[in-house]
Amino acid sequence: MKAAIIAVGDELVLGQTVDTNSAWLSARLVAVGIMPTYHLTVADDLDAIAGAIVAASAKAGLVVVTGGLGPTKDDLTRDAIAKALDTGMELHVPSLERIEAFFRRVGRPMSDSNRLQAMCPVGAKMLDNDCGTAPGIEARFEPARVFALPGVPVATASMFERHILPSLSGRPGRVIRTGVLRTFGAGESTIGQMLGDLMKRDRNPVVGTTVSGGVVGVRIRSDFPSADLADAAMAETEALVRESLGDFVYGRGEETLQDAVAGLLKRVGRKVVTAESCTGGLLSKFLTDVPGASEFFSGGWVCYSNRLKVEQLGVRGESLAEHGAVSEAVALEMAAGAIERSGADYALALTGIAGPGGGTPQKPVGTVWIALACAAGAGGGGMPRAKAALFMFPWTRELVRDRAAKTALNILRLELLRSAAG
Amino acid sequence: MKAAIIAVGDELVLGQTVDTNSAWLSARLVAVGIMPTYHLTVADDLDAIAGAIVAASAKAGLVVVTGGLGPTKDDLTRDAIAKALDTGMELHVPSLERIEAFFRRVGRPMSDSNRLQAMCPVGAKMLDNDCGTAPGIEARFEPARVFALPGVPVATASMFERHILPSLSGRPGRVIRTGVLRTFGAGESTIGQMLGDLMKRDRNPVVGTTVSGGVVGVRIRSDFPSADLADAAMAETEALVRESLGDFVYGRGEETLQDAVAGLLKRVGRKVVTAESCTGGLLSKFLTDVPGASEFFSGGWVCYSNRLKVEQLGVRGESLAEHGAVSEAVALEMAAGAIERSGADYALALTGIAGPGGGTPQKPVGTVWIALACAAGAGGGGMPRAKAALFMFPWTRELVRDRAAKTALNILRLELLRSAAG
């Protein structure tokens, strides 16, 4: 089946807001074997919306419209569906009751304009919304099915999953399963080479890669006549991918590197601290993205000035004078100082040149030393240990900092995997 | 004049990549008085692209196409323009020479497929690209003008500014100037009320607001018969907006709150340190987003555990026991401890409940105490000073942390403004 995606809103057409719903919906549809053929974005204009719906339903079996279901005068998707169906509107009492209940729950008065959101084009079906007041609408433009969803991304996603996805059988008699494994530490082309024949286009399950923020995702789509077959093939391919990629795989689904590190630390009841220079707090920000971070993260130091490196972390003045702030010796001393002062089990330290200024021929922008120190007893060793490695991230300030912090997380992840195995 | 925006690429239609070019181009066009009427995204399909161009040029005076100009077999925008013009292709020698020079410069061999990028639809014009190998194309579909640009966002932007913008006269004999002032600390509706009649839709210059990440932007567009008149009206309206909004305005253009704070600190040669709990390093990450941050930022502490608050910042155990970690006393002691240990002029401290867990009826999720301490001498005062304020950010973990860190930056900004005025 083919699909067309329509986004409605002046703020989209005028470029005040980037439309992320169309890409999100498309990716979800592709995952179940439905191919989007185009995306169209139109303004809050009755004729433009109605025209877009009529044209799309002539070209595609499934049309998904987002936006234009709010309570204000410029929300016209309801009216446009009625116009396209050449019909009128009627009050949908269960939707009105749901909207009234919503306002009672949040303790705010309901305005008359919200009553408009309970109006349904005659012959269409209302779809209840658990994220806000705007119901969605399902209408038939035979043979096409048209769904209209609110444009707020969380509501779009939630209502797609609840109201549209279960009704998409895909090809009759086929069951589709999808999943994604997340990797860090190798580029997309290296991952592709390691996957080899697993990435052949005619394979089922089919395996593909996408990259975002340094993380390479390995997507798997399994398409079989029964759920049992699809699930079994999915599990088998996932195992083959994991076997090919080893420790590059850190998680699945929407899992982040910090989620993976948090899970490993919590499993062994250990804590980490950070000592950051060039990343300026980004590493500890990543770690505290995880809810309940206090269970595995004690805190950290952002020692931008040399004075703070010496006074707060015990970095030696001679190390700074002899090797400079961006050096193996200083990275190791920052990590050791952080362990000593916190009593934590692990410390990650970073010192580098984020740019755009400050680079030299010997230490160009993007040079970053990352150290990991382990307290006595952490990871099963009896003696405290530390190691440092040099990385080059020859990019923009933002990317240098992002990749350096993620690389530090990955170094700790690999250490935790090794000590769990050892 | 009306415009239509077309984005080309399988990765866009299939939802693997979010199209940001169309919004960016639309915002730039709106700024010079040209109204986009729709965005269309199509796959790498010759007929789909050609059909989209023909349909768009019948509806809009300006059509901008992005993507499909690369060197591979699935880059079909060149051929689609030729097909839409019902013409053939010819080699454009200056483009070929430019592509050859590009490969010499980067020291890589040029493949035959790059030669394809120098092919021009007969009757069209090539637009040189200073960000890569793909030239753009300008073609006439009378009366419409069609521009095709590469889809890599930096190239799209650079080529729009160089090749399209200068040729957009808007209405003949009119000069348009645009600008934006950035505000923080008040919601969009409050800013709107303060602006009052300045926001009347028939005013020239016209004034509008948009909100993103807690920052309300006030956009001004001035449209007059001469540059002198447009500039003078722009300056006058900007002054009226600043007068209406006072210190809520922190900057203009793309300036961030941290840029504004950095500028104020550098002007007086002062430094700040941070002491963070709930924001977990985000505040110091924001400050170090600014290149050359070491000039005004010494570093900071992320004291997630109570132990680090006590041992590293000198927070008193009695304060923690009596008031809890999320309290005025602890925020003030964190800020004072950070000043004392760093010798910095200012310290910002945050302690709060970012959620989703950890809230209580007395201290619900979103409760954040923010303290500012000033060293003796900072801001002209003879004695060290400190103050703290309680904020409620009743949102998600991510938003609580973002708004708390930005609010802390804003508190320091207002202090620096006051001490500069005093």
User: What is the CATH number for B323?
Assistant: 3.90.950.20
Which of B252, B279, B294 terminates a domain? The answer is B252
Question: Hey, what are A272's tokens?
Answer: 């980490």
Taking the alpha carbons at both ends of chain B, their separation in whole angstroms is 51
**Total structural domains in chain A?**
3
Same domain? For B74 and B158 the reply is yes
Residues B38 and B155 in one domain: yes
Same domain, B85 and B161: yes
| pLDDT tens digits, A278-302 | 999 999 999 999 999 999 999 999 9
Q: Does B365 touch chain A (CB under 8 A)?
A: no
Task: Identify the pLDDT of residue B179.
Answer: 85
Query: Which of A204-213, A225-234, B136-145, B402-411 is predicted with the least confidence, judged by mean pLDDT?
Result: A204-213
Q: Are B52 and B6 in contact (CB under 8 A)?
A: yes
Tell me the nearest-neighbour CA distance from A236 into chain B, angstroms.
25
Question: Average per-residue pLDDT in chain A?
Answer: 92
Inter-chain Cβ pairs, chain A and chain B, closer than 8 A:
210
| A392 shares contact with chain B (CB less than 8 Å) | no
Residue among A42, A297, A397 whose CB faces B38 most closely: A42
- A15, A23, A41 member nearest B24 (Cβ): A15
- Judge if A268 and A399 occupy the same domain: yes
Q: A 321-350 residues with CB below 8 A of B? A: 341-343
Helix (H, G, I), strand (E, B) or coil at A98: helix
Q: Which of B124, B143, B167 is the last residue of a domain?
A: B167
A54 and A70 both lie in a single domain: yes
Of the two residues B270 and B396, the one the predictor is more confident about is B270
Closest-CA residue of B relative to A12 is: B23
> In angstroms, how far is the first alpha carbon of chain A from the final one?
51
Q: Which pLDDT band, with edges at 50, 70 and 90, does B243 fall under? A: very high
Decide: B253 and B220 in contact? Cβ < 8 Å.
no
Residues of B in Cβ contact (< 8 Å) with A24:
15
Q: What is the mean pLDDT of residues A364-391?
A: 89
DSSP codes of every residue in B196-251? GGGG-TT-SSEEEEEEETTEEEEEEEEEESSHHHHHHHHHHHHHHHHHHHGGGEEE
Q: Which residues pair with A369 in a beta bridge?
A: A351, A390
Answer whether residue B210 shows pLDDT above 80. no
A17 contacts on B by Cβ (under 8 Å): 23
Of B256, B202, B295, B233, whose CA–CA distance to B405 is shortest?
A: B256
Are both B145 and B186 inside the same structural domain?
Answer: no
Nearest to B280 among A35, A284, A343 (CB): A284
In this predicted structure, which of A34-38, A405-409, B285-289 has the lowest mean pLDDT?
A34-38
Q: What is the mean pLDDT of residues A330-349?
A: 97
Residue B171: is its pLDDT beyond 70? no
Cβ atoms of residues A285 and B281 within 8 Å: yes
Q: CB A302 to CB B288 under 8 A?
A: yes
CATH of the domain at A216: 3.30.70.2860
Q: Which domain holds residue B267?
A: 257-421
Per-residue pLDDT band for B169 (boundaries 50, 70, 90) equals: low
B357–A26 CB contact, under 8 Å: no
Question: Same structural domain for residues A295 and A193?
Answer: no
Q: Please judge whether A294 and B280 are an interchain contact, meaning their C-beta atoms are less than 8 angstroms apart.
A: no
Q: Assess whether pLDDT exceeds 60 at residue A333.
A: yes
Nearest to B403 by CA among B335, B359, B355: B355
- Cis peptide before A361, with omega less than 30 degrees from 0? no
Which of chain A's residues have a Cβ under 8 Å away from the Cβ of B356?
291
Q: Are residues B415 and B283 in the same domain?
A: yes
**What pLDDT digit, counting tens, does each position of A6-19 carry?**
999 988 998 888 99
Max distance between CA atoms of chain A, in angstroms, equals 83
Cβ neighbors of A257 (< 8 A, separation 6 or more) are A184, A215, A250, A251, A286, A406, A409, A410, A413
B351 touches chain A (CB under 8 A): no
Whether B132 shows a pLDDT value over 80: the answer reads: no
On the question of pLDDT at B44 being above 80, the answer is yes
Closest CA to B270 of B282, B281, B262: B262
Average pLDDT score over residue span B346-368:
95
In this predicted structure, which of A69-73, A90-94, A230-234, B127-131 has the lowest mean pLDDT?
A69-73
B350 in the same domain as B230 = no
Taking 60 as the threshold, does the pLDDT of residue B170 lie above it? no
Torsion of CA A56, A57, A61, A65, to 10 degrees: 60
Same domain, A240 and A273: no
pLDDT tens, residue by residue, A167-222: 886 566 777 787 889 999 998 778 988 999 998 878 999 888 877 788 988 988 88
Q: What is the CATH number for B22?
A: 3.40.980.10
DSSP label at residue B380: G
Q: Is B258 on the interface with A (CB under 8 A)?
A: no
**Min CA distance, A210 vs chain B (Å)?**
8
Confidence class for position B244, pLDDT limits 50, 70, 90: very high
Cα B274 off chain centre by: 25
8 Å CB contact between B113 and B70: no
CA–CA separation, B310 and A158 (whole Å): 44
- Which of B17, B25, B285 has its CB closest to that of A280? B285
> Is A129's pLDDT higher than 90?
no
Chain A contact for B209, CB < 8 A?
A: no
Which region among A51-55, A98-102, B180-184 has the lowest average model confidence (pLDDT)? A98-102
Which residues in chain A have Cβ-Cβ distances shorter than 8 Å to B300? Answer: 281, 301-302
Looking at the fold, whether B21 and B55 belong to one and the same domain comes out as: yes
The reported pLDDT for the residue numbered B24 is 95
Q: Are residues A109 and A95 in the same domain?
A: yes
Section B64-84 average pLDDT: 91
Mean pLDDT of chain B: 92
pLDDT confidence band for B237 (50 / 70 / 90): very high
Name the pLDDT band for B380 (thresholds 50, 70, 90): low
Whole-number Å distance between alpha carbons of A351 and A404: 9
pLDDT for residue B279: 98
Interface contact flag, A301 B300, Cβ < 8 Å: yes
Lowest mean pLDDT segment, chosen from A364-373, A376-385, B50-59: A376-385
**Domain end: A229, A252, A275, which one?**
A252
Share of chain A above pLDDT 90, in %: 71
